[in-house]
Amino acid sequence: MPPAKKALVAGRLHRRLRRTLGMDGFGTYCTYLHDWLPAELTHLIDAITTNKTDFFREAAHFEVLTHHVVPALMAEGIGVQRPLRVWSAGCSSGPEPYTLAMVLSDYAARHPMAFHITGTDVCTEVLETARAGIYPEAMVDPIPLPLRKRYLLRSRDPGAALVRIAPEVRDAVTFRPLNFMDSVYDLPERQDVIFCRNVIIYFDHERQQRVLERLCRTLHPGGFLFMGHAETLTDFTLPLHPVAPMVYRKT
Protein backbone atom coordinates (compact mmCIF):
# COMPACT_ATOMS: atom_id res chain seq x y z
CA MET A 1 0.00 0.00 0.00
CA PRO A 2 1.43 3.44 -0.93
CA PRO A 3 2.46 5.64 2.04
CA ALA A 4 -0.31 8.17 1.32
CA LYS A 5 -2.98 5.47 1.48
CA LYS A 6 -1.45 4.02 4.64
CA ALA A 7 -1.73 7.42 6.29
CA LEU A 8 -5.36 7.76 5.15
CA VAL A 9 -6.33 4.33 6.50
CA ALA A 10 -4.46 4.92 9.75
CA GLY A 11 -6.25 8.23 10.29
CA ARG A 12 -9.66 6.71 9.73
CA LEU A 13 -8.98 3.71 11.96
CA HIS A 14 -7.52 5.95 14.66
CA ARG A 15 -10.93 7.58 15.13
CA ARG A 16 -12.58 4.22 15.73
CA LEU A 17 -9.82 3.04 18.06
CA ARG A 18 -9.90 6.10 20.29
CA ARG A 19 -13.50 7.27 20.16
CA THR A 20 -15.41 3.99 20.00
CA LEU A 21 -13.18 1.24 21.37
CA GLY A 22 -11.03 3.30 23.75
CA MET A 23 -7.80 1.68 22.53
CA ASP A 24 -4.39 3.31 22.63
CA GLY A 25 -2.76 1.85 19.53
CA PHE A 26 -2.89 -0.47 16.55
CA GLY A 27 -1.15 -3.31 18.37
CA THR A 28 -4.07 -3.56 20.77
CA TYR A 29 -6.48 -3.37 17.84
CA CYS A 30 -4.70 -6.21 16.00
CA THR A 31 -5.07 -8.40 19.07
CA TYR A 32 -8.73 -7.44 19.23
CA LEU A 33 -9.21 -8.37 15.56
CA HIS A 34 -7.61 -11.76 16.15
CA ASP A 35 -10.26 -12.56 18.74
CA TRP A 36 -13.27 -10.67 17.39
CA LEU A 37 -12.85 -10.34 13.61
CA PRO A 38 -16.36 -11.54 12.59
CA ALA A 39 -18.01 -9.02 14.91
CA GLU A 40 -15.62 -6.17 14.06
CA LEU A 41 -15.27 -6.66 10.30
CA THR A 42 -18.29 -4.54 9.31
CA HIS A 43 -17.11 -1.67 11.55
CA LEU A 44 -13.59 -1.95 10.10
CA ILE A 45 -14.91 -1.71 6.54
CA ASP A 46 -17.20 1.21 7.43
CA ALA A 47 -14.27 3.06 9.00
CA ILE A 48 -11.86 2.86 6.07
CA THR A 49 -14.08 3.06 2.97
CA THR A 50 -14.32 6.19 0.82
CA ASN A 51 -17.87 7.44 0.23
CA LYS A 52 -17.96 10.23 -2.36
CA THR A 53 -21.21 10.75 -4.23
CA ASP A 54 -23.52 13.39 -5.66
CA PHE A 55 -26.87 13.59 -7.40
CA PHE A 56 -26.51 13.84 -11.19
CA ARG A 57 -22.76 13.33 -11.00
CA GLU A 58 -21.32 13.30 -14.55
CA ALA A 59 -24.74 14.39 -15.80
CA ALA A 60 -24.02 13.65 -19.48
CA HIS A 61 -24.27 9.95 -18.67
CA PHE A 62 -27.95 10.27 -17.83
CA GLU A 63 -28.61 11.85 -21.22
CA VAL A 64 -26.82 8.94 -22.88
CA LEU A 65 -28.95 6.59 -20.79
CA THR A 66 -32.30 8.07 -21.84
CA HIS A 67 -31.45 9.13 -25.40
CA HIS A 68 -29.54 6.04 -26.53
CA VAL A 69 -29.25 3.18 -24.05
CA VAL A 70 -32.86 2.76 -22.90
CA PRO A 71 -34.34 3.13 -26.42
CA ALA A 72 -31.89 0.50 -27.71
CA LEU A 73 -32.82 -1.92 -24.93
CA MET A 74 -36.56 -1.26 -25.27
CA ALA A 75 -36.29 -2.06 -28.99
CA GLU A 76 -35.23 -5.55 -27.85
CA GLY A 77 -38.22 -5.84 -25.49
CA ILE A 78 -36.30 -5.02 -22.31
CA GLY A 79 -38.46 -2.86 -20.06
CA VAL A 80 -41.55 -4.11 -21.91
CA GLN A 81 -41.46 -7.91 -21.84
CA ARG A 82 -39.58 -7.85 -18.55
CA PRO A 83 -38.23 -5.11 -16.25
CA LEU A 84 -35.08 -3.23 -17.19
CA ARG A 85 -32.52 -4.06 -14.50
CA VAL A 86 -29.97 -1.43 -13.50
CA TRP A 87 -27.16 -1.86 -10.98
CA SER A 88 -25.57 1.11 -9.23
CA ALA A 89 -22.33 -0.48 -8.02
CA GLY A 90 -20.59 1.35 -5.19
CA CYS A 91 -23.67 3.50 -4.58
CA SER A 92 -22.55 5.03 -1.26
CA SER A 93 -25.43 6.86 0.46
CA GLY A 94 -27.77 6.58 -2.51
CA PRO A 95 -27.63 9.68 -4.77
CA GLU A 96 -26.67 7.71 -7.89
CA PRO A 97 -29.41 5.04 -7.72
CA TYR A 98 -31.99 7.65 -6.79
CA THR A 99 -30.85 9.81 -9.72
CA LEU A 100 -31.31 6.78 -11.96
CA ALA A 101 -34.76 6.13 -10.50
CA MET A 102 -35.85 9.74 -11.07
CA VAL A 103 -34.52 9.81 -14.63
CA LEU A 104 -36.11 6.47 -15.53
CA SER A 105 -39.41 7.35 -13.83
CA ASP A 106 -39.53 10.55 -15.86
CA TYR A 107 -38.74 8.60 -19.03
CA ALA A 108 -41.37 5.95 -18.22
CA ALA A 109 -44.04 8.64 -17.86
CA ARG A 110 -43.59 9.32 -21.60
CA HIS A 111 -42.58 5.83 -22.76
CA PRO A 112 -44.23 3.21 -20.50
CA MET A 113 -41.68 0.73 -19.23
CA ALA A 114 -40.88 -1.30 -16.12
CA PHE A 115 -37.53 -1.08 -14.36
CA HIS A 116 -35.81 -1.85 -11.10
CA ILE A 117 -32.55 -0.55 -9.67
CA THR A 118 -30.19 -2.29 -7.27
CA GLY A 119 -27.75 -0.17 -5.27
CA THR A 120 -24.81 -1.89 -3.58
CA ASP A 121 -21.98 -0.82 -1.34
CA VAL A 122 -19.54 -2.53 0.99
CA CYS A 123 -20.29 0.00 3.76
CA THR A 124 -23.40 -0.89 5.76
CA GLU A 125 -23.54 2.53 7.40
CA VAL A 126 -24.04 4.40 4.11
CA LEU A 127 -26.59 1.82 2.99
CA GLU A 128 -28.74 2.69 6.00
CA THR A 129 -28.60 6.34 4.95
CA ALA A 130 -29.52 5.32 1.40
CA ARG A 131 -32.54 3.32 2.52
CA ALA A 132 -33.82 6.26 4.56
CA GLY A 133 -33.56 8.54 1.52
CA ILE A 134 -33.20 11.73 3.57
CA TYR A 135 -30.67 14.37 2.48
CA PRO A 136 -29.69 17.99 3.21
CA GLU A 137 -31.40 20.47 0.89
CA ALA A 138 -28.03 21.72 -0.37
CA MET A 139 -27.14 18.23 -1.58
CA VAL A 140 -30.06 18.05 -4.02
CA ASP A 141 -29.23 21.30 -5.86
CA PRO A 142 -27.86 19.43 -8.92
CA ILE A 143 -31.27 17.80 -9.50
CA PRO A 144 -33.19 19.66 -12.25
CA LEU A 145 -36.06 21.69 -10.82
CA PRO A 146 -38.89 19.71 -12.51
CA LEU A 147 -37.56 16.47 -11.01
CA ARG A 148 -37.10 18.11 -7.61
CA LYS A 149 -40.73 19.23 -7.63
CA ARG A 150 -41.95 15.80 -8.67
CA TYR A 151 -39.78 13.43 -6.66
CA LEU A 152 -38.63 15.23 -3.47
CA LEU A 153 -40.58 15.84 -0.27
CA ARG A 154 -39.62 18.75 1.98
CA SER A 155 -39.40 18.35 5.74
CA ARG A 156 -42.38 19.62 7.72
CA ASP A 157 -39.86 21.39 9.92
CA PRO A 158 -38.59 24.40 7.90
CA GLY A 159 -35.55 24.68 10.14
CA ALA A 160 -34.42 21.14 9.39
CA ALA A 161 -33.41 21.94 5.77
CA LEU A 162 -33.93 18.30 4.78
CA VAL A 163 -35.68 16.59 1.89
CA ARG A 164 -36.80 13.00 1.43
CA ILE A 165 -36.95 11.00 -1.76
CA ALA A 166 -40.58 10.35 -2.75
CA PRO A 167 -41.93 6.82 -2.08
CA GLU A 168 -42.37 5.97 -5.77
CA VAL A 169 -38.65 6.58 -6.31
CA ARG A 170 -37.54 4.80 -3.13
CA ASP A 171 -39.69 1.80 -4.05
CA ALA A 172 -37.86 1.47 -7.37
CA VAL A 173 -34.53 0.87 -5.62
CA THR A 174 -33.29 -2.05 -3.52
CA PHE A 175 -30.12 -1.64 -1.47
CA ARG A 176 -27.86 -4.52 -0.47
CA PRO A 177 -24.26 -5.00 0.71
CA LEU A 178 -21.69 -6.18 -1.82
CA ASN A 179 -17.90 -6.32 -1.72
CA PHE A 180 -16.10 -5.90 -5.05
CA MET A 181 -13.44 -8.33 -3.81
CA ASP A 182 -15.95 -11.20 -3.58
CA SER A 183 -15.30 -13.92 -6.16
CA VAL A 184 -18.99 -13.96 -7.18
CA TYR A 185 -21.33 -10.97 -7.05
CA ASP A 186 -24.48 -11.94 -5.18
CA LEU A 187 -27.18 -10.34 -7.30
CA PRO A 188 -30.46 -12.16 -7.99
CA GLU A 189 -30.47 -11.39 -11.73
CA ARG A 190 -28.11 -10.45 -14.52
CA GLN A 191 -28.18 -6.73 -15.23
CA ASP A 192 -28.96 -4.74 -18.38
CA VAL A 193 -27.14 -1.58 -17.29
CA ILE A 194 -24.33 -1.21 -14.73
CA PHE A 195 -23.12 2.11 -13.36
CA CYS A 196 -19.71 1.49 -11.77
CA ARG A 197 -18.20 4.96 -11.85
CA ASN A 198 -15.07 6.13 -10.06
CA VAL A 199 -14.77 2.83 -8.20
CA ILE A 200 -11.92 0.87 -9.79
CA ILE A 201 -9.57 3.87 -9.51
CA TYR A 202 -9.03 2.77 -5.90
CA PHE A 203 -7.70 -0.68 -6.94
CA ASP A 204 -4.41 -1.81 -8.43
CA HIS A 205 -4.36 -3.13 -12.00
CA GLU A 206 -4.75 -6.80 -11.06
CA ARG A 207 -7.79 -6.13 -8.88
CA GLN A 208 -9.25 -3.83 -11.54
CA GLN A 209 -9.05 -6.71 -14.03
CA ARG A 210 -10.84 -9.07 -11.65
CA VAL A 211 -13.59 -6.57 -10.87
CA LEU A 212 -14.15 -5.72 -14.53
CA GLU A 213 -14.36 -9.41 -15.46
CA ARG A 214 -16.97 -9.98 -12.74
CA LEU A 215 -18.93 -6.94 -13.87
CA CYS A 216 -18.97 -8.32 -17.41
CA ARG A 217 -20.20 -11.69 -16.16
CA THR A 218 -23.02 -9.91 -14.33
CA LEU A 219 -24.03 -7.96 -17.45
CA HIS A 220 -26.43 -9.39 -20.04
CA PRO A 221 -25.04 -9.68 -23.59
CA GLY A 222 -25.92 -6.37 -25.23
CA GLY A 223 -25.98 -4.65 -21.84
CA PHE A 224 -24.23 -1.38 -21.06
CA LEU A 225 -21.48 -0.49 -18.60
CA PHE A 226 -20.97 3.13 -17.47
CA MET A 227 -17.54 4.01 -16.05
CA GLY A 228 -16.21 7.18 -14.41
CA HIS A 229 -14.46 9.99 -16.27
CA ALA A 230 -11.16 9.24 -14.51
CA GLU A 231 -11.16 5.57 -15.54
CA THR A 232 -10.01 3.84 -18.71
CA LEU A 233 -10.45 0.33 -20.08
CA THR A 234 -7.74 0.57 -22.74
CA ASP A 235 -5.35 -1.70 -20.81
CA PHE A 236 -7.87 -4.53 -20.39
CA THR A 237 -9.13 -7.31 -22.64
CA LEU A 238 -12.87 -7.42 -22.10
CA PRO A 239 -15.99 -8.27 -24.15
CA LEU A 240 -16.89 -4.57 -24.38
CA HIS A 241 -16.84 -1.90 -27.06
CA PRO A 242 -17.23 1.86 -26.56
CA VAL A 243 -20.48 3.55 -27.60
CA ALA A 244 -20.08 6.94 -25.88
CA PRO A 245 -17.49 8.57 -23.59
CA MET A 246 -16.94 6.05 -20.77
CA VAL A 247 -19.97 3.99 -21.87
CA TYR A 248 -19.43 0.45 -23.17
CA ARG A 249 -21.66 -2.27 -24.58
CA LYS A 250 -21.12 -5.96 -24.00
CA THR A 251 -20.63 -7.98 -27.18
> Model confidence over 69-93: pLDDT tens digits?
999 999 999 999 999 999 999 999 9
Q: pTM for the whole thing?
A: 0.81
- What is the percentage of the chain residues whose pLDDT exceeds 90? 67
Domain ranges of the chain: 3-48, 60-250
Sign of the dihedral defined by the CA atoms of residues 81, 55, 138, 48, in that order:
positive
Sign of the dihedral defined by the CA atoms of residues 38, 42, 44, 48, in that order:
positive
First vs last Cα of the chain: how many Å apart?
35
Q: Give the mean pLDDT of 239-251.
A: 97
In sequence order, the β-bridge partners of residue 147 are none
Name the pairing type of β-strands 134-136 and 162-165. Answer: antiparallel
- Dump pLDDT digits (tens) for 111-168: 999 999 999 998 888 999 999 999 999 999 999 999 999 999 998 887 889 999 999 9
- Greater pLDDT, 172 or 28: 172
Distance CA 223, CA 97 (A): 17
The second-level CATH assignment, the architecture, of 60-250 is 3-Layer(aba) Sandwich (3.40)
Please tell me the total number of residues recorded for the chain in this structure. 251
Catalytic (active-site) positions = 12, 121
**Alpha carbon separation from 215 to 160, 196, 249 (Å, rounded):** 40, 9, 12
- Three-state SS letters, the chain: CCHHHHHHHHHHHHHHHHHHHCCCCHHHHHHHHHHHHHHHHHHHHHHHCCCCCCCCCCCHHHHHHHHHHHHHHHCCCECCCECEEEEEECCCCCHHHHHHHHHHHHHHHHCCCCEEEEEEECCHHHHHHHHHCEEEHHHHCCCCHHHHHHHEEECCCHHHCEEEECHHHHCCEEEEECCCCCCCCCCCCCEEEEEECCCHHHCCHHHHHHHHHHHHHHEEEEEEEEECCCCCCCCCCCCEEEEECCEEEEC
